[in-house]
Amino acid sequence: MYENILSNNENGICTITINRESKLNALNIQTLQEIKQAVIEANADKEIHGIVLTGSGQKAFAAGADISEFVNFTSEQGRKMSADGHEVMNTIENSGKPVIAAVNGFALGGGCELAMSCHMRLASENAKFGQPEVNLGLPPGYAGTQRLIQLIGKGKATQLLLTADVIGANEAMEYGLVNEVLPIEDLLPRCNEILNKISSKSPLAVAKVIKCINAYFTEGKDGFLTEIEEFGHAFSTKDFKEGTDAFLNKRKANFER
Ligand code: COA
């Protein structure tokens, strides 16, 4: 069904693997559209509670947008490429089910942007991050200038964006770009462990937390007001009844999907 990714559902977790290992999982346009589709499908699937996004092999998560594909693009095509890419990243960021990037190697350019659109990033010890677009005569086009500032602050983000420096996993963790650094063999198990923990919580509340966090960063939205709305709405949900009833009756909550 997909040509450039693998999408595998197991024990409630959908693992999406970018499957262009010989091209260091470079993100051509079709690959990005397939990732978007797989995230939409995982969100629609009641059996799925979380999503992991990773790259095939042990060298790259994704070494950027596919340079060979866009090398002859016009400005108009470039604009469309960027707008469509933004939509892919926004689809991931707005997923009501948590998405973790398991960064298993190079996350450069579009690869770094893709990882930054996920709700959390875990990295293997060999992972490398950077936005090298200025080497190609381009600024980042998949919201790298925006999400890097959000994650690590203006000073460090500006330095990385202007120098095209590539940083290792531990430095990325120091900056706040990744949450944890792990031996590569522990990367997917740890992502699954985090998602399984979240899966015991109220799915409605989890989706609301994601929505409130995103509102903080969305032009024209007020995160504080969003929180008031989402908090109020939660009182009318079955998850609220189940969560509070379980607490008062000293039992474990059992939330429905
Ligand atoms: N787009 C298209 N193809 C890419 C790619 C990209 N972003 N990144 C890697 N590839 C391809 C290479 O062209 C090569 O293909 P080939 O074997 O058909 O020639 C293959 O992947 C392996 O890459 P290679 O450069 O030989 O590996 P390396 O270990 O020597 O170097 C990198 C690894 C990541 C340092 C290097 O590939 C690189 O700099 N990639 C581009 C990074 C970048 O600028 N990304 C931002 C794009 S907007």
Which of 17, 15, 12, 74 is closest to 48 using CA atoms? Answer: 12
Q: Is the pLDDT of residue 257 over 90?
A: no
Cβ of 133 closer than 6 Å to ligand 1, yes or no, is yes
205 in a domain, yes or no?
A: yes
Per-residue pLDDT band for 211 (boundaries 50, 70, 90) equals: very high
pTM for the whole thing? 0.98
- Give the pair of three-digit tokens for residue 170: 């531990």
Give residue 219's pLDDT: 86
Give residue 150's pLDDT: 97
What's the first-to-final CA gap in the chain, in angstroms?
26
Q: Are residues 175 and 224 in the same domain?
A: no
Told to judge if 113 belongs to the known catalytic residues of this protein, a careful annotator would answer yes
Q: Is the pLDDT of residue 74 over 90?
A: yes
Give residue 215's pLDDT: 97
Cβ of 107 closer than 6 Å to ligand 1, yes or no, is no
The whole-angstrom separation of Cα 32 and Cα 122 is 20
Q: Are residues 178 and 64 in the same domain?
A: yes
Cβ contact 15:52 at 8 Å: yes
Give residue 1's pLDDT: 87
| Range(s) of the domain holding residue 116 | 5-198
Per-residue pLDDT band for 236 (boundaries 50, 70, 90) equals: very high
Q: Are residues 109 and 171 in the same domain?
A: yes
Which residue type is seen at 121?
R
Q: Are residues 185 and 173 in the same domain?
A: yes
**Domain boundary residue among 198, 214, 239?**
198
Indicate the number of domains in the chain.
2
Q: Are residues 241 and 135 in the same domain?
A: no
Q: Are residues 228 and 164 in the same domain?
A: no
> How do 60-62 and 50-55 pair as beta strands?
unpaired
257 in a domain, yes or no?
A: no
DSSP per-residue letters across 121-162? EEEETT-EEE-GGGGGT---SSSHHHHHHHHH-HHHHHHHHH
Q: Are residues 187 and 206 in the same domain?
A: no
CA of 226 to the centre of ligand 1 (A): 42
Cβ of 67 closer than 6 Å to ligand 1, yes or no, is yes
